Chains A and B, each alone.
Chain A
Amino acid sequence: MAKYNLKINGKIRKVDIDPSTPMLWVLRDHLDMPGTKYGCGMAQCGACTVHLDGTAVRSCSLPVSAIGKGAITTIEGLSENGTHPVQKAWIEHDVAQCGYCQSGQIMSAAALLKDNPKPTDADIDNAMSGNICRCGTYLRIKEAIKTASKN
């Protein structure tokens, strides 16, 4: 067990926890933030994507001990009231089917647009191919990213 002061969505959160615990389960089990989803546990599906200092990372494969002073942003902290341009574009394109993969998709998309505000189709494919959607909403995701890139 070890104590950590984690910077999550702009707030300091204290946890006393096994250092090997992946950030995903710290969020879901210990901090009551279930927006970040579990899909594979091995960095294959993207459902657990969060930002670490603005970069998209797979929280299922990121032990809490590796966070240090890094700032974590989760879907719950992406914006107040769902007003981030990516979230708004997701609503406009009614992207979701079951919706389970979508917080991971949104976090990957938001990180992409931060680095590359006008991505090409190939850029989008590259950034988003780590996120699986079994329902098959990829084309809407792509369109929504393009809409968001205009804002």
Chain B
Amino acid sequence: MTNIQNMKPVKTTYNRRSFLKSSALSGGGFLLSIGWLSSFKSIDNQSVTNLPPNWNELNGFIKITADNVIKIMSPNPEGGQGVKTSMPMIVAEELDVDWKNVIVEQADLDTKHFTRQFIGGSQAIHQGWKPLRNAGATARQMLREAAATQWQVPVDEVSTELGILYHKKSGKSAKYGEMASAAAQIPIPKEVKLKDVKDFKIIGKSKSNVDIEKIVTGKPLFGIDTQRDGMLIAMIVHPPAMGLKFKAIQNEDVIKKMKGIKDVFPIKIFNEGYEKTFFDTLNFNEVVAVVGNSTWEVMKAQKALKIDWEPIQSSTENRNMLGRKLTVKIPAGLESSTEHTEKLAEMLKKPLNVLRKDGDPEIAFKNASKVIERTYTGPFLAHNCMEPMNFFAHVTDEKAELAGPLQKPEFTEQALSARLEMPLDKIDIQITRLGGGFGKRSYAHWLLEAALISQKVKAPVKLIYSREDDMTSGIYRPAYSATYRAALDANNDLVGFHVKAVGIPESPLFPNRFPAGAVDNYLAEDFTIDSNITVGSYRAPRSNFIAAAEQSFLDEVAEATGKDPIEFRLDLLKKAQEKPVGKTNDYDPARYAGVLELVREKSGWEQAKSTKKLGVSAYYCHDSYAAHVLDIEVKNGEPIVKNVCCAIDCGIVVNPDTAKNMAEGAVIDGIGVALFGKMTFTKGVPDKNNFHTYRMIRMNEAPKKIDVHFVQNNIEPSGMGEPAYPPVFGALANALYKATGKRFYQQPFMDFMG
């Protein structure tokens, strides 16, 4: 599979043709619905084919009551990345209101008013920056014009501050609320002026999570908390192994007689012949549903169910990957991790698909004074969102009402519409807070299951996955391996670089990323190995593996050249900046070097590197740059991370404390996954099904201290959900080398501490 991260952001032009629909509301307020349909035009047709329709479009709502309460709708799902706070902050900044008076409300899926209503690719703030600012500025301009008309003064003389309109000369003033109805009648301004960055009052000042009080008091915020009158509880049973499918229920009568149980039946998720899209899953298409009055009763029935399974046949699936047609082969068989390891190693010995070639790598390696070759592997990983998968559905002949946690509701709605043969306008999806997403909730098998179950039992239903169902139902981070080779000349200069990467069933390679562009002779090859283990996006897809491999390798190459690892990278980046090789490099060498320099300074690298066990790593992805230095020690065979220093360049930092929280989380989660994360299979059966066997990082294993520093600049903001994650793995591997004298080539590292 490919993923969003692969899509280069398209260049956009803003043609200021925003349109505005306005309607007077009862109660003296007004509602501005600001749309940017057609306001962003892609000028890069090639990349458009890779993008979902309307990629760059976004809408927002601003609602102002007569007594000056400002309601800002937050269109994107909130899964812990803080967008429900930071996106409205951007609107509020340009609207020029007091943040204290702002109420934020989560918008439902509403494709008429909003687009790109999803979590993915760390793009919410990046793509939303201009539209959200324009939303605020347009409304502010209309309020000023309304005041100018009423006061009979030139609009230029009307200023605003904290939600109040002023005409200084006459001493007149009015709250936004007082002008709101009149403003709603004003024609949409053709041009609006945006604030100067230096005048920002809200952006750049930390604001706490708008839901924090609800979270600490246990209010029902999450999909799993959904309650409705007459609601039944459903669970599913999926095949116990990848490579098996449903055959028959053995003990239907016994189950139906169990206390509190209403029904048990198989359901088919996708219809035959349906062309799957990007976010439709390939996992178990037929499962058994069991429905009853309460979770515990249904759990007991779920355990008592006896089902016959049978092997799948090899098949092909035609997929429409956001416009790109793709045929995916799904082999039959019960796969095991031992075979996967062998297959990965075997493929790496063969010539693979060449994705990029600069200069003459063959000659460079032939003439090299020294060649370094290393191979890295990363296992399948389970997402393990703390809130297990779940969805509420109430499907009748007339309409479908759904509520739950979902990263890509827009895409899911289309799949559901096709499955139920129900037009989109009859489907209503309410987005609840996500108890973690990390990519897993980009998929929505469970939503379709909930809808089909509700349709069958003719009642509102909440489908809940047990932790075991969640961990064993597929959609893992793929398993990867990569071999790196470096050619050094007699001066110890890096003259050739070769990366070969394979994955099951997805390649992890980004051929245009550093050190591409910094080495004259460069070769990048990859290959995808078919499998019936289902996979999906996982926080910083592909980067989460390839960064670890690349940054560990560069550390080893730096050592072979006798250079300091930061200096070594900076020298390469200097070359990429001054004399870049190739034209398709996807990073900005100056910003990349910027985070390395900042982390060097803030971590006290130069002073500490000879005495402490430090590891460094840097990476670029999702339009942001991050570099980490980890300071560790190893006690009784267990690594202890004493200190982590992070330097991040994500442009303007909208909500600094939340951005810091994201970086801290990325570091802690990254260390946990690098040390312990692993899903393996024995004859198609996932070997782990709950946290007693799938080890997660816990408080006592977290770093003692994490310092986060942001590069200060005025560049438009980019993502924070993912970029700090990939470089953690390499920094840890490199620090472990310093502490143990051993290089770590295979994840999870704990398996090799011995």
Residues of chain A at the chain B interface (Cβ within 8 Å): 1, 18, 20-22, 25, 28-30, 32-42, 44-45, 47, 74-76, 78, 81-82, 87, 90-91, 94-103, 106, 124-126, 128-142
Is B690 positioned at the interface, with any CB of A under 8 Å from its CB? yes
**Residues of B with C-beta under 8 A to A82:** 213, 216-217
**Residues of A with C-beta under 8 A to B422:** none
User: Counting chain B CB atoms within 10 Å of each CB, which of A22, A81, A134 scores highest?
Assistant: A134
Q: How far is the CB of A32 from chain B (nearest CB, A)?
A: 6
Of B82, B213, B296, B657, the contact of A21 (CB 8 Å cutoff)? B296
CA distance A77 to B705 in the complex (A): 33
Q: Are B218 and A103 in contact (CB under 8 A)?
A: yes
State the main secondary structure of chain A at its contact with B: loop
Q: How far is the CB of B158 from chain A (nearest CB, A)?
A: 36
Q: Are A29 and B209 in contact (CB under 8 A)?
A: no
Residues of B621-674 whose CB lies within 8 A of A = 657-658, 661-662, 664-669, 672
CA distance A124 to B667 in the complex (A): 20
Is B702 positioned at the interface, with any CB of A under 8 Å from its CB? yes
Residues of B241-282 whose CB lies within 8 A of A = 259
**Residues of A with C-beta under 8 A to B219:** 35
Q: Are B387 and A100 in contact (CB under 8 A)?
A: yes
| 7 pairs, CB–CB < 8 Å, chain A vs chain B | A39-B386, A75-B216, A82-B216, A99-B215, A132-B386, A136-B697, A139-B705
CA distance A139 to B603 in the complex (A): 19
User: Counting chain A CB atoms within 10 Å of each CB, which of B213, B464, B467, B657 scores highest?
Assistant: B467
User: Counting chain B CB atoms within 10 Å of each CB, which of A25, A98, A128, A134 scores highest?
Assistant: A98
Of A22, A29, A96, A129, the contact of B80 (CB 8 Å cutoff)? A96
Known contacts A75-B218, A135-B436, A136-B672: does B295 contact A98 (CB below 8 Å)? Answer: no
Is B200 positioned at the interface, with any CB of A under 8 Å from its CB? no
**Residues of A with C-beta under 8 A to B259:** 1, 18
Of A33, A47, A124, A139, the contact of B386 (CB 8 Å cutoff)? A47
Q: Are A39 and B388 in contact (CB under 8 A)?
A: yes
Is B61 positioned at the interface, with any CB of A under 8 Å from its CB? no
**Residues of A with C-beta under 8 A to B436:** 98, 100, 134-135
**Residues of A with C-beta under 8 A to B82:** 97
Q: Are A102 and B215 in contact (CB under 8 A)?
A: yes
Q: Are B80 and A97 in contact (CB under 8 A)?
A: yes
Q: Are B295 and A44 in contact (CB under 8 A)?
A: no
User: Counting chain B CB atoms within 10 Å of each CB, which of A40, A41, A101, A132 scores highest?
Assistant: A40
CA distance A27 to B399 in the complex (A): 31
CA distance A99 to B328 in the complex (A): 37
**Residues of B with C-beta under 8 A to A100:** 222, 385-387, 435-436
Q: Are B699 and A134 in contact (CB under 8 A)?
A: no
Q: How many residues of B contact A (CB 8 A)?
A: 65
Q: How far is the CB of A25 from chain B (nearest CB, A)?
A: 4
Q: Are B296 and A25 in contact (CB under 8 A)?
A: yes
Known contacts A82-B213, A94-B209, A99-B435: does B699 contact A128 (CB below 8 Å)? Answer: yes
Nearest to B85 among chain A residues (CB) is: A94
Q: Are A94 and B658 in contact (CB under 8 A)?
A: yes
Q: Are B388 and A137 in contact (CB under 8 A)?
A: no
Q: How far is the CB of B283 from chain A (nearest CB, A)?
A: 21
Q: Are B699 and A125 in contact (CB under 8 A)?
A: yes
Residues of B691-742 whose CB lies within 8 A of A = 691-692, 696-700, 702-703, 705-706
**Residues of A with C-beta under 8 A to B227:** 32, 34
Known contacts A25-B295, A30-B294, A100-B386: does B664 contact A139 (CB below 8 Å)? Answer: yes
Q: Are A99 and B233 in contact (CB under 8 A)?
A: no
Q: Are B80 and A98 in contact (CB under 8 A)?
A: yes
Of A21, A37, A41, the contact of B387 (CB 8 Å cutoff)? A37
Is B407 positioned at the interface, with any CB of A under 8 Å from its CB? no
**Residues of A with C-beta under 8 A to B665:** 97, 135-137
Q: Are B215 and A96 in contact (CB under 8 A)?
A: yes
Known contacts A22-B296, A102-B215: does B672 contact A129 (CB below 8 Å)? Answer: no
Q: Are B212 and A96 in contact (CB under 8 A)?
A: yes
CA distance A38 to B669 in the complex (A): 21
Q: How far is the CB of B403 from chain A (nearest CB, A)?
A: 13
Of B213, B220, B296, B700, the contact of A125 (CB 8 Å cutoff)? B700
Q: Are B669 and A135 in contact (CB under 8 A)?
A: yes
Residues of B589-633 whose CB lies within 8 A of A = none
**Residues of B with C-beta under 8 A to A74:** 218
Is B552 positioned at the interface, with any CB of A under 8 Å from its CB? no
Residues of B396-452 whose CB lies within 8 A of A = 433-438
Q: Are A98 and B79 in contact (CB under 8 A)?
A: yes
**Extra inter-chain contacts (13) besides given A41-B466, A128-B699, CB under 8 Å:** A41-B299, A42-B692, A90-B212, A94-B206, A96-B211, A96-B216, A98-B433, A100-B435, A101-B435, A103-B218, A131-B699, A137-B668, A139-B705
Is B551 positioned at the interface, with any CB of A under 8 Å from its CB? no
Q: How far is the CB of A24 from chain B (nearest CB, A)?
A: 9
Is B297 positioned at the interface, with any CB of A under 8 Å from its CB? yes
Q: Are B385 and A134 in contact (CB under 8 A)?
A: yes
Q: Are A44 and B690 in contact (CB under 8 A)?
A: yes
**Residues of A with C-beta under 8 A to B209:** 94, 96, 99
User: Counting chain A CB atoms within 10 Å of each CB, which of B209, B697, B699, B703 scores highest?
Assistant: B699
Q: Are B216 and A136 in contact (CB under 8 A)?
A: no
Known contacts A76-B217, A136-B668: does B295 contact A28 (CB below 8 Å)? Answer: yes
Q: How far is the CB of B461 from chain A (nearest CB, A)?
A: 14
Known contacts A91-B212, A136-B665, A136-B702: does B690 contact A97 (CB below 8 Å)? Answer: no
Nearest to B211 among chain A residues (CB) is: A99
Q: Are B215 and A18 in contact (CB under 8 A)?
A: no
Of A22, A36, A137, the contact of B664 (CB 8 Å cutoff)? A137
Is B225 positioned at the interface, with any CB of A under 8 Å from its CB? yes
Is B134 positioned at the interface, with any CB of A under 8 Å from its CB? no
Is B12 positioned at the interface, with any CB of A under 8 Å from its CB? no
Q: Are A134 and B691 in contact (CB under 8 A)?
A: no
